[in-house]
């Protein structure tokens, strides 16, 4: 178990100062605002492919970048979880009460979700898995998603087969490093791991097809 937990050391930086800086950067930098807009569109399309689930767990929720979009459905039951309390506090502080109060927040992580089995219709997992480099840890997370969700999972990954991944690999090679990026996974490997966890692919939503590494997989829980 300690070997799996070690893959989450990146989350230790998410303190109060980092959370505030992260939230500001998403609003102030034009490139971040552009990326944020298109990621929200990607998540919205993925949820449509998943059948517009009536209850959703946003995990990790970070500073709540997807909350306004998730709350667009007035009758949707909303939950949010994160391993960082400062990030969740920033999420609540960054939204109007009418949105923030819709979310039941949990201090939890993706490996050990503090919820009963089959408690939500869908899980939205954006910008987590590119931090997880160990295949066994990814598989454990996917299986935990399959345990908690009744119907579907939408998870974003950085995959190969696009210009951005090719350019990064080339840059690493020029610097005398292996032509790989640990934050990018081969699409074939990603899909094999998802299948091994009992998640069936029903859709793929690319941020910018053929250019961006970001892809959201829409998965049915078998």
pLDDT at 11: 59
Q: How far apart are CA 182 and CA 179, in angstroms?
A: 10
pLDDT score for 176: 60
Cβ proximity of 119 and 221 under 8 Å: no
Q: Is the pLDDT of residue 18 over 80?
A: no
First to last CA, the chain: 26
- Mean pLDDT calculated for residue range 69-88: 96
Query: Over the chain, what is the mean pLDDT?
Result: 89
Q: Which residues of 75-106 are buried (b: 16+ CB within 10 A; e: fewer)?
A: ebebbbbbbbebbbbbbbebbeeebbebbebb
Q: 107 near 81, Cβ under 8 Å? A: yes
Structural element, H or E, at residue 214? strand 214-221
- Residue 13 is predicted with a pLDDT of 67
pLDDT of residue 4: 41
* Phi/psi at 199 (5° precision): -110, 125
H or E segment at 122?
A: strand 120-125
DSSP state of 139: H
Average pLDDT over residues 52-69: 97
Q: Are 14 and 84 in contact (CB under 8 A)?
A: yes
Taking the C-alpha atoms of residue 135 and residue 21, their distance in angstroms, rounded to an integer, is 31
Answer whether 90's CB lies under 8 Å from 19's CB.
yes
Domains of the chain plus CATH, in order, are: 2-221 (3.40.50.150)
Distances in whole angstroms, Cα of residue 211 to Cα of each of 40, 53, 85, 168, 188 = 17, 29, 34, 12, 18
Q: Is the dihedral of CA 145, 154, 91, 184 positive or negative?
A: positive
pLDDT band at 49 (very low <50, low <70, confident <90, very high): very high
| Distance between CA atoms of residues 138 and 133, nearest Å | 8
Q: What is the model's pLDDT at position 181? A: 57
21/165 Cα distance (integer angstroms): 27
pLDDT category, 68, cuts 50, 70, 90?
Answer: very high
Q: Which residues contact 70 (CB under 8 A, 6 or more apart)?
A: 56, 58, 76, 78, 124
Query: Can you give the pLDDT at residue 23?
Result: 63
Predicted TM-score (pTM) of the model is 0.87
């Amino acid at each position: 178990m300690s070997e799996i937990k070690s893959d989450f050391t990146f989350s230790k930086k998410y303190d109060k100062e980092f959370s505030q800086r992260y939230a500001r950067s998403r609003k102030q930098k034009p490139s971040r605002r552009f990326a944020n807009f298109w990621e929200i569109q990607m998540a919205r399309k993925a949820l449509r492919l998943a059948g517009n689930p009536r209850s959703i767990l946003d995990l990790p929720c970070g500073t709540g970048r997807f909350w306004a979009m998730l709350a667009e459905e007035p009758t949707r039951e909303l939950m949010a979880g994160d391993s960082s309390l400062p990030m969740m506090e920033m999420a609540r502080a960054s939204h109007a009460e009418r949105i923030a109060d819709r979310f039941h927040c949990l201090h939890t992580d993706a490996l050990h979700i503090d919820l009963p089995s089959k408690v939500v219709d869908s899980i939205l997992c954006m910008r987590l898995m590119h931090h997880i480099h160990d295949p066994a840890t990814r598989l454990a997370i996917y299986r935990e998603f399959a345990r908690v969700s009744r119907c579907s999972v939408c998870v974003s990954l950085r995959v190969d087969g696009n210009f951005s991944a090719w350019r990064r690999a080339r840059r690493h090679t020029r610097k005398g490093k292996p032509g790989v990026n640990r934050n990018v996974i081969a699409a074939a490997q990603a899909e094999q791991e998802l299948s091994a966890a009992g998640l069936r692919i029903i859709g793929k939503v690319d941020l910018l097809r053929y250019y961006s590494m970001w892809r959201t997989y829409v998965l049915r829980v078998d």
